[in-house]
Each structure stands twice: as C-alpha cells, then as structure tokens.
Structure 1
Amino acid sequence: METVELNNGIFMPMIGYGTYRTVPAMTTANVLQALRTGYRLIDTAQYYGNEAEVGEALTESGLPRDQVFVTTKVQTSGYAETKRGLDESLRRFNHDYFDLVIIHWPTGNDAETYRALEDAYRDGKVRALGLSNFNARQVQAIIDGATVMPALDQIETHLNWQQKRMHAYLTSRGMVHESYAPLGEGQPGFLDNPVLVKVAQRYHKTPAQVTLRFLIQEGIVVIPKTLNRQHMADNFAIADFALEPADVRTLEGLDARQSIDGWPAAMQEDQY
C-alpha cells in the first residue's frame, strides 16, 4: 500500500474510503467491507453522523487499532465547543484516539478551534492535525499561530479542478494535499470524458481507476466513496500500473478549474 509521510513523521495511506452521505444504518457494513477489501484509511466527520458506526466496523474487523488510519472532522467553533465536541466524537467512535482530526471548514474562530485540537494532540487523543476547505491565506493564518503544524488540507480535487495552485502552496509548507470528491461525486458524465476513456482503455482500467492513479501520482491522497462493492474493489486495485508521462500531461489538460458546486466560495482562486 502506498503511503505518505506527514510532517510529524507518521505515515498515512494514499487511498482511503470516504463515508460522506453514508447513512448510519449503512455505514458499519460498508466500512467493514472496505476494511476487508484492504483499505486502511477511513474518513468520517462529526457532520456525517456516522462516527459510531465507523468505530463499530473497526472493532468488528478484528484489525489492530494501529493498522487502520481514521480521520474525523470537527464542525465546532472555538476552544470549549471543540474540546467538548472532540471528546464526544471519541466516545461515539469508542476507541482511544483518532489518527487525524481536521477542522471541517473555516469558521469565525479558527485559531481557538485549532488550539483545542493542539491540546488534544498533546493529550494523545489525536496523532495529527489538519484542515479542510481552507484556502492558502486561511491555512497560513493557522500556521502563523500554530504550536503544532497542520499536516494536511483536504480540499475538493478532481480532473476538472486539479488545484494546482493550492497543491504548490501546500507542498511549499510541507503539508499533504488530500482530495475529496476525486471521482466527481457521481456527477453525470464526469467519468465519461472521451479523453479519459481513451487513456483508460490503453491501460485496460476503468476511468475511475485512471483518475485515482493520476491523483496519487501527483502526490494527492484520495478518499473515494461508493456503496457498490465492485466499485469499492476496483477503486482500491490501482497499485499495479503507473501512468506514462504523456498520459499524465493529457489528463492535466482536462483541468478546467471548475468546482462541482462552488462551495465554499473562499476556495475559488480569485479569493486567495
């Protein structure tokens, strides 16, 4: 399994399983299937309402806790609310720590929210800290006040919006770029682009597999979500090929800097 080293020396898998919009009643079975398929990175969030079920799947899998990297995201604002909310997340998750905790999106009090995460990090409740939906200016504000460096920024990234500008910024700060919506969240026609289909045919792979391979080769962590078992297996089975430089350049040409839904507006490149 390909991994990336975070800026505090811990390693994170480069392909994971996302649980956005997976209702709690379906989460345990699907996360358990993902773990049995071989995924070792699971992404959840307070906002998703399925932290407990992710914890149940991890317990039911029988895997040692230190073999699965679990991310959650706080949607709180300020020190006290974040500290309390993270402790509640840990109780729901029913394990001793999260591997990565992310501020889900910027709020009015990010400095104090992040300070609560730093204290949780020092208390051993969290192994690494990160951000999501933060543009370069917002990331830098956190860095400037941090005592624990953020390790990662999770942002919308896919072939139609490759986030070259943010990628360069994050790399320059020693941070990992993580993609959410790497397969376009099921948008009609997203994986039917003739250019992508032609490249996929050349490698005898699906368009989704080629898309994920492209992002990983760019050094971007991916967390595709699916409830389809065949797609789940296919998405994971991308370690047996590499895209040739000419095909990488071809896929780079699909970058339209186009968001799926334009949220949050602060991520648009004219905002930072």
Structure 2
Amino acid sequence: MKDIINRFKISNTKSFSLDKYDTGDTAGYEKETAEELLADLIKDIAKLQTELYAANRQSLLIIFQAMDAAGKDSAIAHTMSGLNPQGCQVYSFKQPTSEDYEHDFLWRHYKALPERGRIGIHNRSHYENVLVTKVHPEFILKENIPGIGKVKDISKKFWDQRYESIRDFEKHLSANGTVVIKFFLHLSKDEQKKRFLKRIADPDKNWKFASGDIKERALWNDYMKAYQTAIKETSTADSPWYVVPADKKWFTRIAISTIILQILKGMKLEYPVLPKEEMEKLDETKRILEEE
C-alpha cells in the first residue's frame, strides 16, 4: 500500500517531470487479482467513511483531473461504489456560467466543498483555471479582471498569483479540517486515440464523444505543459498531487482506492465517545426496553 503512495505522490516538485511517469505502470499488480483486491479496498473505505461521518470533525475532498477519455467518470463510479450517498457529495464542473464569471475563480468551487463528516468528489476542479485557461488564455478575458483587457495583458505574474491563490486556498482548507487528495490520471496520447475510436464505433458511447475533443487533442503538448507546471506549483506537503497511470483502467482504480484508504487511515478517525451522563441514559433506556 505504501509503495503505491510513494510511487505516485509528487513530493519533489523541483525535479518533477510528467515524462518520468509511465502511463502503463501497474506497480507489479496483476489484472487477474484486481477485481477481488478492489472489492476489499472498497469495503475498507466504506467502513472508514462511516467513522468520518460519525465523528463529524473532518472532511475529505478528492479532486480528479485528466485529459478526455482518461477514465475519470468510471474511476469515480468504481472506487466510490461502496460509499454511503448520505456522506458523499459529487460535483462535475463544466464551463463557468455568467454568474460564476461575476465572482472570483474560486467562488463556485468553494460553494461545492464537502461539509464536515463528508467526502466531496470534484470531477474537474478549480485547476481548470490554470489548465484549460492556460491553453486558451482568451477565456480569462471573460472574468473581467481589472487591468486585463487583452490576451497580451496576461503575464507570468498573473499565473504566479493564480498558483499562489490555489496554494493558499488549499492551505486554508487543510487548516480547517478538510484533507485534500488530488489525482491526475496520466493517460498516453496513443491510449486516448484508442478510446476515442471505441467511442465512435460503439453507438451506446457516441454521446461521450464531441467534435471539440479532436481540437483539444491537437493541443496535447500544450496541455501536458500546463499540467506539469500546475502540479509543480501546487503539490504541497498538506495537499500533494498523485500522478496515477491511466492506460490500464483496472490498475487506475486500485491505485486510487489504495491512496484514498491510506489517507483515511492517516486521519485517525474514531467514533465519538458519549459523555458519562449520556451513557447512563443509554443504560436506563436499555433497562426500560428489556422490561417491556
């Protein structure tokens, strides 16, 4: 378990490069045993979720970022299948609305944070503001930021300040009891091509494919550069990134579940202990029921 954590956790940002991470890595795990292992992991996560919910002191925010067809949706569906819906909140962020643009870029994400005792899952996140906007800086103009009227006004200082805002945001969350896990599902360009072709060939999956996906694929190198910079700038001790290989979906799910389970264990969750007076009331209630 710790091997997976150490293998994919980004601790040394100075030497970080996406090229060093194999998108097909399986860390020595075998597909034949994957289903049984995943079932055990899901069961253990569900148990700890109950303790998180009962304690009602901390929360867990899980962020998923990836290129199209990397398997975010299926990873969320499989790894979170054992969770109690009462203690789980899932948000899928699309393009900002006109109302979103009337606020700072973190506003809509702050509103979607999990309450104490709950697990929040963000399918895409506030990182889109340093990823897709980095590749398409013209989107920044919609934010009506003072001093930025044209793309040429968007300087390195602007991006540095945005990374700083994200670090401060996550530091604030951590200090107030929200543990943040950030997953980048690292997919190869060849595997994306295969998955796109499967979507086109299967009528039941045509809805997953949009013509714009090909246009974004043509900007692959720009996106990889944006991801690499974002991860380097925002992987911190309190809120580290995990670069998880995504070419083998069965292993992606195992890696994600293993990391989530380890993080939950590290939160030292415990069921709340009732005060002495409440315990005495329970004893009295038990006696009354037994004498009925």
TM-score of the pair, normalised by structure 1: 0.30
Q: Which has the larger radius of gyration?
A: 2
